[in-house]
Structure 1
């Protein structure tokens, strides 16, 4: 699933790469950039944590002209005026105008490296609103963000993950040559797909993926659970013998009428269904004027 997400970035999506200090997700981020450039798409990088030389390292040199790096490193807060893009300009208006000012501007891919630095200096709710506005603005095709989850409270990480259409969480694996990626993808229909895979990023920013094998112990455990009979230790019997079943079928239910009772209820009797009325002396009925007793 990870390779499919990288090779075919869906329009209007927000892809979140979630890493920790024990395992970096910057390699997968570079694979996204390289794959998008090879597809001929324009990529705008808001580089707050890494210099341009590090982001471009390993990227296909024939497509590097479509990579637009907006310098936020090494002065992301604008204290020394050495950066062309600072954290306080992370708004939908500034970013949209930044992309529109690019020559031959079209729907582009926005890469935020990283969202952690932005979230440390802005209200998380405001950042989520900005991301949502950028997704619906039409100028940006896809947003790809890197988030260091161990730098934030779980509530902040949760709301950002809830906003994303795809979340890729990386973690170290027992094999030093690989790392583990857990991909959670939510489709437009609301279906959620999840898969764990081992991955490795080469020097030319290409990704190799290997499916995580199932643990034999877990499969055996699930089989044992499915074979267990929950009625084996009951003090009463839930099953009927053949004789008990036949005796049960012969018992007449109280709400079911027998044929004899139906016939008795439906059989007509003399005088049934007639209403007899005998007028008394107080009745004043005039056949010529039936409404004479009414005060009209």
Structure 2
């Protein structure tokens, strides 16, 4: 699934790279930028966390003509007279105008580095509303945002990720040059797909997908659970021997009628009792109208 995202066969919508202090997702973010530039796409990057020089470091210089950087690193709050981009400009109207200033005819890819800086100064509902308007407005083809999950409350992270088509949660792998990506894909029909992949990012920001991670603890717990017998330490026996099972099958249950019992109930034998009723003279019983005494 990660290879499809990098190749552009399954892109569009809103993609969130969720990282933490244990592992940075910026290398994967720059890999996605590089892949979009290689596909002849225009990419707009709003830099809050790092400077323009640091973001461009390692990217292919031959592709930078389609890379448009908007420096929000120097003056993110707009204290100067003419800021390049400030946090109060993070709304659908200003972002759409920012992207349409370029001469590219096709919708561009908008990269936000990072959403965490914006969420510290703009309310989460306003951020979610802006992202939703950009998704539906058609000004951008795709939105990619880096989110430092350990900087926010769980509800804030969940609200942003709920809007995402893809959520890539990165964590360190077992080796120094490896990482684990937990990918969640939400389709328009509501179907959710999840996949875990081990990957590595090279110096030129090419990504190599190695394999699906193996979790020995999970396999071991399943094996132990299968081997444990829950009836081993009981004070009574739940199993029947062959003799006990044979005796149980021969036992006649009280609610099961045998053939002899059915015959005795249907056909009354000698000595069985009967109830006879003989009306006397005071009984006003009409054979033609049995309900005459009901006064209807």
Give TM-score scaled by structure 2 length: 0.77
Q: Give unpaired runs (5+ residues) of structure 2.
A: 268-281, 287-294
Query: 1:289 matched to which residue of 2?
Result: none
Alpha-carbon offset, residue 30 of structure 1: 0.5
Q: Give unpaired runs (5+ residues) of structure 1.
A: 268-279, 285-292
Query: 2:35 matched to which residue of 1?
Result: 35
- For residues 15-44 of structure 1, give each alpha carbon's deviation from its aligned partner in whole angstroms, at most 9, with x where no partner exists: 211223443211110000111121232322
CA contact (8 A) 1:44 1:68 kept: yes
Q: Secondary structure at the match of 1:75?
A: coil
Alignment partners' CA distance in 2, 1:96 and 1:208 = 34
Alignment partners' CA distance in 2, 1:265 and 1:140 = 85
Query: 2:182 matched to which residue of 1?
Result: 183
Root-mean-square deviation (Å): 3.7
Distance 1:260 1:60, change over 3 A: farther
Distance 1:150 1:216, change over 3 A: closer
Query: 1:202 matched to which residue of 2?
Result: 203
Alignment partners' CA distance in 2, 1:10 and 1:140 = 16
Distance 1:47 1:2, change over 3 A: same
CA contact (8 A) 1:166 1:185 kept: yes
Alignment partners' CA distance in 2, 1:181 and 1:27 = 13
Alignment partners' CA distance in 2, 1:90 and 1:123 = 11
> How many residues of Structure 1 are paired with residues of Structure 2 in the alignment?
283
CA contact (8 A) 1:166 1:183 kept: no
Distance 1:164 1:9, change over 3 A: farther
The reply on whether 1:233 has 2:230 as its aligned counterpart is no
* Aligned ranges 1:216-231 → 2 under 5 Å: 216=216, 219-231=219-231
Query: 1:125 matched to which residue of 2?
Result: 125
Query: 1:271 matched to which residue of 2?
Result: none
The reply on whether 1:167 has 2:157 as its aligned counterpart is no
Distance 1:238 1:89, change over 3 A: same
Give TM-score scaled by structure 1 length: 0.77
Alignment partners' CA distance in 2, 1:198 and 1:172 = 10
Alignment partners' CA distance in 2, 1:89 and 1:200 = 33
* Aligned ranges 1:139-178 → 2 under 5 Å: 139-173=139-173, 175-176=175-176, 178=177
Alpha-carbon offset, residue 110 of structure 1: 1.6
Alpha-carbon offset, residue 230 of structure 1: 1.3
Q: Secondary structure at the match of 2:138?
A: coil
Alignment partners' CA distance in 2, 1:119 and 1:187 = 23
